[in-house]
């Protein structure tokens, strides 16, 4: 059994959906048991959320406009992928019913001027409900028996709207009970990505870009032989090909390496996707739906036969470096604890932490947009320390970027860091802070945003990643 997940661009128009049908037909010929997971058509989630956010400010016209635009796009695509009149009518009625709910809720939001988190999640996930129905219809039109499923019947989550956490045990029960009988009759379930529901049945979402995560969750629940992420990139690469033209596709990487790369800016995969798959050892493949014959990347428990120490270098831009400094911090316990408690209370995610051993400076990286609120929260939380003089300043430095160098072969091999930083120095890039995870498969450092590309290119060259071939 395979789970095949198709992202927004891979279901973005009738032509892309026809390509999806070809891919599913080919996969099904190899293994008749296939579950399809889909994202909303490209741009739809943003449009839905943009419209309700405008509605909160009283702009009802934004809802009408989005309603008309979404209706036009989905019905136009429907007409292009479905031939039979009966199917067309039935589908149009289903899509219209969903779009009508969007309009009603949107008007309600404009009226009360408030967007409760659960209403926002329901709206955010509507694009997947529309695309799953369209895709199932397109498969049927091609003679492949398929049936659309809303994942709120399948993926059980907590009630953290906007970024819910799945209950994997409850999900396994629900998904098996619901989907196995369908699979046994030879039909293909087409499941909405991105959404789940609380045990009470209130729809939630798994966080932006969460359809990949849905595929991982369902793959684990159904004990799939593999999960394939069909996207618009060739797979995990040695670097972002827009920055480094000689970047190559990595044919095999480990879960740990993929996790680091997803976390540090490779936009190929939602970072949580692998979590449910790792304990079961289920492999994940990333493949390009525009070029289905290219091999893509296989992510599994092994690192592959690569001889390389370093495999990939990525960067994340748009970040801020927060520094808490003071000569009096030396030997004063609890400042780090207070700092990170305040950051957590402000709901801010920390991407990297570094402290010098002289202890008079603690710094960490966050999203640039969070810089001001984080700085303000720290000034407040450390008021006593400021007063006592042990903390002298809290600074936000931006824009900065993290450059992350990843490879399981770096573990226990001396001299890698020296090579990395000599390459960076040769490129004349100044390193602001450095961190290495104790897993030793990732060395990351902070540079001015404008210098990130030069650092990435220099490292890619120094380790000859463009010339790497699998053994
Ligand atoms: N449609 C959702 C989003 O845009 C989920 C996804 O595409 O993975 O965030
Ligand atoms: Mg995506």
User: In a structure prediction context, what are the per-residue pLDDT tens digits for the chain, which is 471 residues long?
Assistant: 999 999 999 999 999 999 999 999 999 999 999 999 999 999 999 999 999 999 999 999 999 999 999 999 999 999 999 989 999 999 999 999 999 999 999 999 999 999 999 999 999 999 999 999 999 999 999 999 999 999 999 999 999 999 999 999 999 999 999 999 999 999 999 999 999 999 999 999 999 999 999 999 999 999 999 999 999 999 999 999 999 999 999 999 999 999 999 888 778 899 899 999 999 999 999 999 999 999 999 999 987 655 578 999 999 999 999 999 998 887 777 888 999 999 999 989 899 998 876 668 899 999 999 999 999 999 999 999 999 988 999 999 999 999 999 998 888 888 999 999 999 999 999 999 998 776 788 999 999 999 999 999 999 999 999 986 544
Q: Same domain, yes or no, for 88 and 210?
A: yes
Task: Please report whether residue 290 resides in a domain.
Answer: no
What CATH number is given to the structural domain containing 355?
Answer: 3.30.2130.10
Q: 160 lies in a domain?
A: yes
* Listed residue (47, 410, 422, 4) closest to 231, CA to CA: 4
Q: Is residue 333 part of a domain?
A: yes
Of ligand 1's listed atoms, the one at least distance from the Cα of 194 is: 5
- Same-domain pairing of 318 and 215: no
- Give Cα 464 distance to the centre of its chain: 28
| Cis, bond preceding 326 (omega within 30 deg of 0) | no
Q: What residues have CB less than 8 Å from 418, skipping those under 6 apart?
A: none
Give the ligand 1 atom nearest the CA of 206: 5
CA of 272 to the centre of ligand 1 (A): 14
Q: What is the pLDDT of residue 469?
A: 56
pLDDT value of residue 307: 59
Q: What is the pLDDT of residue 438?
A: 64
In a domain, 415, yes or no: yes
DSSP letter string, 325-385: E-GGGTT-TTHHHHHHHHHHHTTPPP-EEEE-TT-SEEEEEEEGGGHHHHHHHHHHHTHHH
Pocket of ligand 1 (CB under 6 A): 7-8, 39-40, 45, 127, 193-194, 208-211
Which of 202, 217, 232 lies at the terminal end of a domain, its last residue? 232
Last residue of a domain, one of 232, 251, 275: 232
**Is residue 293 included in any domain, yes or no?**
no
Ligand 1 atom nearest 40 alpha carbon: 1
Residues 74 and 213 in one domain: yes
- Residue 308, pLDDT score: 72
Residues 330 and 216 in one domain: no
Mutate to test the pocket of ligand 1, among 40, 131, 192 (most ligand atoms within 8 A of CB): 40
Domains held by the chain: number: 2
Q: How far apart are CA 291 and CA 309, in angstroms?
A: 29
Residue environment code for 365-401, b if the CB has 16+ CB neighbours within 10 A, otherwise e? bbbbebbeebbebbeebbeebbeeebbeebebbbebb
Between the CA of 314 and the centroid of ligand 1 the distance, in Å, is 22
Helix (H, G, I), strand (E, B) or coil at 262: helix
Task: Yes or no: say if 375 and 322 are a contact pair by the CB < 8 Å rule.
Answer: yes
Nearest CA-CA partner of 24 in 140, 172, 115: 140
In a domain, 263, yes or no: no
**219 and 333 part of one domain:** no
Both tokens of 108, joined, read 């309600």
- Best mutation site among 9, 192, 205, 211 for ligand 1 pocket (most ligand atoms within 8 Å of CB): 211
User: Which residue's alpha carbon is at the smallest distance from atom 2 of ligand 1?
Assistant: 209
Strands, E, within 89-220: which ranges?
146-149, 188-192, 195-197, 203-205
- Residue 418, domain extent: 312-467
């Amino acid at each position: 059994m395979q789970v095949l997940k198709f992202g927004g661009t891979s279901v973005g128009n009738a032509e892309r959906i026809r390509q999806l049908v070809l891919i599913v037909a080919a996969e099904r010929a190899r293994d008749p048991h296939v579950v399809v997971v889909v994202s909303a058509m490209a741009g739809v989630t943003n449009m839905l959320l943009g419209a309700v956010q405008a509605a909160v400010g009283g702009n009802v016209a934004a809802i009408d406009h989005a309603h008309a635009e979404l209706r036009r796009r989905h019905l136009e695509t429907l007409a292009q992928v479905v031939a039979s009149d009966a199917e067309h009518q039935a589908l149009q009625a289903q899509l219209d019913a969903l779009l009508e709910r969007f309009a009603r809720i949107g008007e309600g939001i404009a009226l009360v001027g408030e967007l409760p988190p659960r209403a926002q999640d329901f709206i955010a996930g509507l694009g997947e409900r529309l695309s799953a129905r369209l895709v199932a219809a397109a498969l049927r039109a091609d003679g492949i028996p398929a049936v659309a499923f809303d994942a709120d019947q399948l993926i059980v989550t907590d009630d953290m709207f906007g970024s819910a956490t799945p209950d994997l045990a409850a999900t396994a029960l629900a998904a098996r009970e619901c989907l196995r009988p369908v699979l046994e009759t030879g039909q293909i379930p087409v499941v909405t990505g991105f959404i789940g529901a609380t045990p009470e049945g209130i729809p939630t979402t798994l966080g932006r870009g969460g359809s990949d995560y849905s595929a991982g969750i369902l793959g684990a629940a159904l004990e799939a032989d593999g999960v394939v992420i069909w996207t618009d990139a060739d797979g995990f690469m040695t670097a972002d090909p827009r920055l480094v033209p000689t970047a190559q596709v990595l044919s095999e990487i480990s879960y740990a390496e993929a996790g680091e790369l997803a976390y540090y800016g490779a936009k190929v995969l939602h970072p949580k996707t692998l979590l449910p798959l790792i304990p079961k050892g289920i492999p994940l493949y990333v493949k390009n739906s525009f070029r289905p014959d290219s091999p893509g990347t296989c992510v599994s428990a092994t690192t592959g036969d690569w001889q390389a120490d370093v495999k990939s270098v990525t960067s994340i831009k748009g970040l801020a470096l927060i520094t808490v400094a003071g000569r009096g911090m030396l030997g004063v316990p609890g400042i780090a604890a207070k700092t990170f408690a305040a950051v957590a209370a402000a709901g801010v995610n920390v991407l990297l932490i570094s402290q010098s051993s002289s202890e008079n400076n603690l710094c960490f990286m966050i999203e640039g947009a969070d810089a001001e609120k984080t700085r303000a929260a720290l000034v407040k939380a450390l008021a006593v320390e400021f007063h006592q003089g042990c903390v002298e300043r809290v600074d936000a430095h931006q824009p900065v970027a993290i450059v992350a160098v990843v490879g399981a072969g770096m573990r226990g091999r001396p001299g890698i860091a020296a090579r990395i930083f000599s390459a960076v120095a040769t490129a004349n890039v100044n390193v602001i802070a450095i961190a290495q995870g104790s897993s030793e498969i990732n060395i990351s450092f902070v540079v001015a945003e404008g210098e990130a590309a030069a650092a990435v290119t220099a490292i890619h060259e120094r380790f000859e990643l463009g010339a790497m071939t699998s053994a």
